[in-house]
């Protein structure tokens, strides 16, 4: 039986779903002669670690208890441990995690760090564990979309890092691109709708509904962030575009990406409350969007909010696209990517499906962990 020791950072919607997947996949992994062994988990305030990180692990019952405690909004300190674990405060967390990584290195087995946080505070720790040749799996987009220096450091052992869930959640986007790149199938262009929210909004306004109504409905359905401007700014799409562009070899940062925001700066969060924006701000944008849709329609096209990456460009914003293309046919909140390469030059390789959700995102993380099994003895 091959043991894969894991330390999980972030126990929110995705991190908890990952722990539940690990527990419910025990038999599947057993049949593959694998055992995922969770030795520690942490949130923003504390870290819980197995009593002897090398010989023991947090058992399944305890992992599920962690999920319950976190779902109920309580802190990890309220866990009834019964001597089952050690708890460290946020101050001691990073140095303890590095100790654990170092001890695993001495034992010549791998340790996998999983980042399911939504924070950039994990970057310094990730940099150190990469140096210790630990495996790293990310759902968090921050580490690979911050400075180029961090990026280079984190991918300095390319075989030891996986980040499928940073773009398109569980969809096989990163793995497909990596397979193409490593087999010499040069990628000429990627164009993709990478926001479920903006995909939904753009396909709804196309059938004649006012932009402001569609955004309000999307918010009520829970499709948007609490402040929909976090979606409409395009920044989240830009982070994903940056990760893809860097994968294709672009030496750029977030500042180099042209990002079109769907609201004007006068309606920014510093100048308007969410309520004002929804009630008064949004309707002021309706006419301009309607005008652009009609113009596109007169050319037989539709509008989509996409990232566009080719040899020289990385842009994020509204593009006019043929109605009868994979992106043009998009309805609802799916993500869609068209990848053009030497092998896929006339007809693109198309990847489509749900690009968000705790379940698919956690499944993507779990598949990444299993994918690195050959790193373990
Ligand atoms: N949900 C999706 O559909 C989806 C899809 C693709 C990618 N992702 C990415 O997956 C990540 C997790 O998403 P989520 O929805 O689960 O987020 P979330 O519910 O906000 O959970 C974030 C977790 O990270 C913890 N955290 C914050 N700072 C930390 C630090 N410095 N060290 C360790 N843990 C820290 C938080 O701690 P507290 O509990 O103490 O606050 C919380 O447990 C995000 O980066 C997100 O962008 C999500
Ligand atoms: C993801 O998990 C969070 C926290 O449990 C929950 O609030 C949210 O509704 C979940 N999202 C989906 C799409 O299930």
Q: What is the pLDDT along the chain (377 residues), one digit of tens a residue?
A: 899 999 999 999 999 999 999 999 999 999 999 999 999 999 999 999 998 888 899 999 999 999 999 999 998 888 876 567 899 999 999 999 999 999 998 887 789 999 999 999 999 999 999 999 999 999 999 999 999 999 999 999 999 999 999 999 999 999 999 999 999 999 999 999 999 999 999 999 999 999 999 999 999 999 999 999 999 999 999 999 999 999 999 999 999 999 999 999 999 999 999 999 999 999 999 999 999 999 999 999 999 999 999 999 999 999 999 999 999 999 999 999 999 999 999 999 999 999 999 999 999 999 999 999 887 77
Which region holds residue 357: left if phi is over 0, alpha if psi is between -120 and 50, else beta? left
Q: Does 354 contact ligand 2 (Cβ within 6 A)?
A: no
Cα of 44 to ligand 1 centre, how many Å? 9
CA-proximal residue: ligand 1, atom 21 (nearest)? 12
Counting Cβ atoms within 10 Å, is residue 159 exposed (0-12), middle (13-18) or buried (19+)? exposed
**DSSP E strands, the chain:** 2-9, 34-42, 46-49, 86-89, 112-115, 135-138, 161-162, 187-193, 258-259, 301-310, 314-322, 334-341, 349-354
Determine the Cα–Cα distance for residues 309 and 245; give it in Å rounded to an integer.
6
Q: Where are the domains of the chain?
A: 2-170+359-375, 178-354
Cα of 21 to ligand 1 centre, how many Å? 17
Q: Does 165 contact ligand 1 (Cβ within 6 A)?
A: yes
What CATH number has the domain spanning 178-354? Answer: 3.30.360.10
172 to each of 149, 306, 336, 364, how far by Cα in Å? 26, 18, 11, 8
Main-chain phi, psi angles of 237, to 5 degrees = -65, -40
Task: Pull the structure tokens for residue 360.
Answer: 């698919």
Task: Pull the structure tokens for residue 369.
Answer: 């962990």
Which region holds residue 10: left if phi is over 0, alpha if psi is between -120 and 50, else beta? left
Q: Does 358 contact ligand 1 (Cβ within 6 A)?
A: yes
Our CA angle for 222, 223, 229, nearest 5°, is: 100
Task: Check residue 84 and give its pLDDT.
Answer: 73
370 to each of 6, 15, 43, 131, 358, how far by Cα in Å? 11, 16, 23, 21, 18
Give the 3-state secondary structure percentages of the chain, helix then strand then coil, rounded to 5: 45, 20, 35
What CATH number has the domain spanning 2-170+359-375? Answer: 3.40.50.720
Assess contact for 143 and 168: CB atoms under 8 A. no
Beta bridge partners of 193: 336
Task: Check residue 82 and give its pLDDT.
Answer: 59
CA-proximal residue: ligand 1, atom 27 (nearest)? 44
Determine the Cα–Cα distance for residues 231 and 241; give it in Å rounded to an integer.
14
| pTM tops 0.85, yes or no | yes
Pairing of strands 349-354, 334-341: antiparallel
Q: Does 169 contact ligand 1 (Cβ within 6 A)?
A: yes
Atom of ligand 2 nearest to the CA of 357: 13
Q: Which of 11, 333, 358, 362 to mutate to test the pocket of ligand 2 (most atoms within 8 A of CB)?
A: 358
CA-proximal residue: ligand 2, atom 5 (nearest)? 13
Task: Pull the structure tokens for residue 296.
Answer: 């596109």
Atom of ligand 1 nearest to the CA of 47: 33
Cα of 294 to ligand 1 centre, how many Å? 40
Cα of 357 to ligand 2 centre, how many Å? 7
Task: Check residue 45 and give its pLDDT.
Answer: 95
Cα of 13 to ligand 2 centre, how many Å? 5
Beta bridge partners of 252: none
Residues noted as catalytic:
240
Exposure string over 28-44, b if 16+ CB within 10 A, otherwise e: ebeeeebebbbbbbbbb
Going by C-alpha positions, the residue among 134, 197, 61, 97 that lies closest to residue 375 is 134
Our CA angle for 146, 148, 154, nearest 5°, is: 80
Atom of ligand 2 nearest to the CA of 356: 13
């Amino acid at each position: 039986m091959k043991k894969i020791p894991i330390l999980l950072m972030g126990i929110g919607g995705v991190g908890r779903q990952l722990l539940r997947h690990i527990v419910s996949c025990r038999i599947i992994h057993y049949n593959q002669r694998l055992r995922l062994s969770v030795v520690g988990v942490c949130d923003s305030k504390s870290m819980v670690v197995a009593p002897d990180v090398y010989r023991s692990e947090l058992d399944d019952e305890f992992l599920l208890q962690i999920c319950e405690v976190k779902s109920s909004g309580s802190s990890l300190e309220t866990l009834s441990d019964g001597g089952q674990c050690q708890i460290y405060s946020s101050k001691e967390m990073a140095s303890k995690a590095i100790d654990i990584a170092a001890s695993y290195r001495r034992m010549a087995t791998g340790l996998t760090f999983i980042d399911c946080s939504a924070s950039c505070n994990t970057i310094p720790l990730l940099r150190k564990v990469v140096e210790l040749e630990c495996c790293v799996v990310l759902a968090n987009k921050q580490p690979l979309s911050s400075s180029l220096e961090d990026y280079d450091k984190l991918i300095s052992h390319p075989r030891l890092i996986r980040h499928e869930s940073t773009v398109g959640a569980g969809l096989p986007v990163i793995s497909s691109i990596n397979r193409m790149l490593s087999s010499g199938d040069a990628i000429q262009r990627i164009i993709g709708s990478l926001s479920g929210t903006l995909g939904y909004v753009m396909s709804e306004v196309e059938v004649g509904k006012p932009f402001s109504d569609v955004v309000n409905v999307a918010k009520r359905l829970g499709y948007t962030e609490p402040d929909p401007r976090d979606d409409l700014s395009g920044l989240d799409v830009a982070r994903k575009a940056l990760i893809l562009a860097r994968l294709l070899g672009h030496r750029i940062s977030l500042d180099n990406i042209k990002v079109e925001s769907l609201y004007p700066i006068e309606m920014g969060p510093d100048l308007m409350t969410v309520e004002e924006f929804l009630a008064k701000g949004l309707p002021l944008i309706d006419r301009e969007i309607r005008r652009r849709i009609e113009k596109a329609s007169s050319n037989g096209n539709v509008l989509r909010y996409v990232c566009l990456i080719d040899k020289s460009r990385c842009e994020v914003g509204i593009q006019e696209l043929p109605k009868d293309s994979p992106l043009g046919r998009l309805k609802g909140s799916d993500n869609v990517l068209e990848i053009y390469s030497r092998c896929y030059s006339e007809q693109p390789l198309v990847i489509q499906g749900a690009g968000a959700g705790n379940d698919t995102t956690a499944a993507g993380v779990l598949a990444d962990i299993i994918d690195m099994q050959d790193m373990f003895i």
